[in-house]
Amino acid sequence: MSMTITEKILAAHAGKDRVSPGELINCRLDLVLANDVTAPVAIKEFSKLGLDRVFDPDRVALVPDHFTPNKDIKSAELALCVREFARSYGITNYFEVGKMGIEHCLLPEQGLVLPGDMIIGADSHTCTYGALGAFATGVGSTDLAAAMALGECWFKVPESMKFIYHGKMRPWVGGKDLILYTIGDIGVDGALYRAMEFTGEAIQDLSIEGRLTMCNMAIEAGAKNGILAPDEKTKAYVEKRAKRPYRFYYSDPDAAYVEVKEYDVSQIEPQVAFPHLPENSRPVSEAQGIELDQVVIGSCTNGRIEDLRVAAKILKGRKVHPRLRVIIIPGTQEVYLQALREGLLETFVEAGTVVSTPTCGPCLGGHMGILAKGEKALSTTNRNFVGRMGHPESEVYLCGPAVAAASAVTGMITHPEEVMGDAD
């Protein structure tokens, strides 16, 4: 019987020859992760078990990234709780401020998540790692506590939904635009409980960064995981980072899908998702002229070097519109350093933006750019829910880095072509 890439990874980690959608299985885990918000709850639950060790101190990653550098006393105490746990349990992959990055930017970069892996994280955007051909999904803190003890977790095998992206992308269109367009098509529960498998010419054309962006937002369609087939680009990305073996899995040509969606990407404009759901995506031409108070470029969705390069290309030699605050957040220390070496940070500062140390910060309304009542932000983050970036009566529009940077120059939502001309 044929299987999808998701089913093959699940079967391999359940010790079975094959699995079918709907089946309940127990899977061995290659890595489990949590952050400064979710780890303390997991630690509290884990401590109830009275264990003196986690299943494998090399396979637990703790990344204090949400409210760090500590935004207030209570957040400092959460971070302290994680730090002390990491020390007393000998957690190898604990990342202190200074080494820390946004978890879903950091772990792929560090080679801690690899093709063929089975990963759970107490963070909904754990699905990001599917971009490397891994099965990765978000869970809550109690599931994470159980996984830290057992090194395994139960799953219901999801049905797979296939997305085929034909054709060549237009200038200024990237992974963010493809995923916003897709969520706009199927809705915020359009892939509920399912695996989203991304295929086609445009996916092959995407960089690893663009693929990570797409899989990152699978959760915004309700999916259990987002995944795509590994290839030469995957190999080039992981072979210099991996410290343990990995395996490439591929869907069989006759694997079963519950639904298949096909798109011609040459028809897709840069996208903007209107408040207050990611499914409210529209072509940027329909959002032109909406006046903004803040632009944010960063997050686990778009905080990678390629994103910053796109933004810098547009901001180079230009100035941020005087009405705006623009906050740029490199996803990791490595991204920060690379951006520094390439002169991107100089471009950003000269343009009049703020460049922050890595943090989730404003994406979830934590710190570093909270909105007042009635304010509007355009952001490369992943959620535009009510109150997501601050006051419940503020508004967040979502987009990719090109639209964000172009809009930073004009002060209103703008197609990058308007700032740059037709040249890409």
Query: Are 389 and 396 contacting, i.e. CB atoms less than 8 angstroms apart?
Result: yes
List CB contacts of 233: < 8 A, sequence separation 6 or more: 207, 208
Rounded Cα distance, 85 and 91, in Å: 8
List CB contacts of 117: < 8 A, sequence separation 6 or more: 9, 30, 31, 129, 132, 134, 135, 136, 246
The two tokens of residue 32 are 């489990």
Rounded Cα distance, 214 and 223, in Å: 12
Q: CB 193 → another protein: shortest distance, Å?
A: 5
Q: For another protein, which stretch binds (CB under 8 A), given 133-141, 205-213, 287-295, 299-307?
A: 133-141
Within residues 28-47, the interface with another protein by CB under 8 A covers 37-38, 40-41, 44-45
Within residues 139-198, the interface with another protein by CB under 8 A covers 139-143, 145-146, 149-150, 154, 188-189, 192-193
Q: What angle do CA 162, 138, 280 make, to 5 degrees?
A: 60
Task: Choose which of 1, 2, 15, 24 interacts with another protein (CB under 8 A).
Answer: 24
Of the pair 318, 388, the CB lying nearest another protein is at: 388
Q: Is 240 among the residues that bind another protein (CB under 8 A)?
A: no
Of the pair 45, 417, the CB lying nearest another protein is at: 45
Q: Is 275 among the residues that bind another protein (CB under 8 A)?
A: no
**Among candidate residues 364, 418, 372, 410, the one with its CA nearest the CA of residue 391:** 372
Residue matched to tokens 């939904």 = 161
Task: Choose which of 28, 58, 99, 124 interacts with another protein (CB under 8 A).
Answer: 124
Residue matched to tokens 């903007």 = 272
Binding residues with another protein: total (CB under 8 A): 50
Q: Which residues of 166-193 are buried (b: 16+ CB within 10 A; e: fewer)?
A: eeebeebbbbbbbbbbbbbebebebbee
Of the pair 116, 366, the CB lying nearest another protein is at: 366
Mask of contacts with another protein, 306-335, x by CB under 8 A? ------------------------------
Q: Is 49 among the residues that bind another protein (CB under 8 A)?
A: yes
Which positions lie near another protein, rule CB under 8 A?
24, 37-38, 40-41, 44-45, 48-49, 51, 66-67, 71-72, 74-75, 78, 121-124, 126, 138-143, 145-146, 149-150, 154, 188-189, 192-193, 219, 222, 224, 277, 364-366, 383, 385-388, 392
